Structure 1
């Protein structure tokens, strides 16, 4: 009887030792035994530290983007002020040109009257000198008007170019305010961090990707899911995967095409008004030839 109890005791001790060994587990196998759970916890703590570091970096990038946006708005306001000042100068220049034209017309009428009254003037030599002087003054005035017209055309062209730049900046600001990426956006998924729920894209601010905008993942010509942009840099960006947007069994993959959400076509760029052509140079009016004095 004692032997039976001894045998049973030995069996119980062997089973206990085996269970203790199994529960102890192996640190190389996460989640198996208490050693495996300790290893798994250490791995998760390291992952948490990396995620917290990544969050701090993304927060700093967001703050930098806000600063850049404020600078962008300030620069746009300055450009609009310059354009308004240039338009005022153009109006002043146009007024000067109109005054010069009116003065030229007045002198022309005066010259025509002098020509009509020429036969009644006694001193022919004196009249010829006055006519030549008036003709030179008229020619100089026409040259001055031509120069003013050319300068006005140049300023108008500069104003048109500035307006085109302002319109482009306004469109970009509009996309920022509406949290929409460029309608012409087309890039690809560079990397996928499925466990963390985000991807990186092969493009950023250079392709018109806007933070907090929604993007669509396209594969084989079909939209399979959506992304939400969380951070944007000059040539790259990061976006969270929107889980509910993917059908069951679908997942974003490296190399998938990414476009801006929505089917609205890209707005047409505003066409600047054509630059005013320089006024043609006025034909020179030949100086009046002095008439031969009449024989006494």
Structure 2
């Protein structure tokens, strides 16, 4: 594989270091039509960790009737052993039952998945926003009591396919409520990829005014309109240092058909490498992992960097 490197020109407007929060094994694979064997999923996580990705979201303890692609959560964690259950290996839990399964598996970190809009909350959680917050409360309380690190995803922060534009104040209100439950970090989701740089800045500014600084936030951009990297740079310039990404750009959202793939981890790392921002990620190893997973999925990686560096 031929290797090109971005010319490094440090960008003083960006943080010196960024944490790449890898969601490929969970958010990426949950939207695949092919069910990937547990052994392959476990090897995927191992390869991502070996490539320098410190935080890897491994799986989801949702009802397998809704997300059959991740019905093997216990098996995957069993195959990973101690390397799959630490504080840097979060799993998604939708409710108390999911948390029970996660605790039985010995995990060290969990995430809950909320919504800034009523329609998506109904479609994804079968509850309105207020009811979903009530469902999360005992999950977060118990997880914290057990010493777990807790993340909260907030979907539809920038637009909703059913409701259209989402008022910034509405998003801020849901975020504030989730943090008040005891969540350690919020991930702001552009679920259908409609965010723009100005919108990103306005939301982060409004959150800061409500007492939610960038140190409590991550960003999660989908690339439907090709804006994920631009929006990420906007968030970084406002002080965010945690960026969600999915190896090979895998993923979408099974409950929002207009949601296409996540920001590709390789595209993000290329950008940050060129700007002199530390990530700890070995781009060569990451690209090789993406190409390997693409073979298992039977299709080329949608990541532009993977295609450029692997010739695929």
TM bin, normalised by shorter chain, reads under 0.3
Provide TM-score, normalisation by structure 1. Answer: 0.19
Pick the structure with greater CA Rg. 1
Structure number with the bigger relative contact order (C-alpha 8 A, sep ≥ 6) is: 2
Provide TM-score, normalisation by structure 2. Answer: 0.18
The structure in which a higher percent of residues are helix is 1
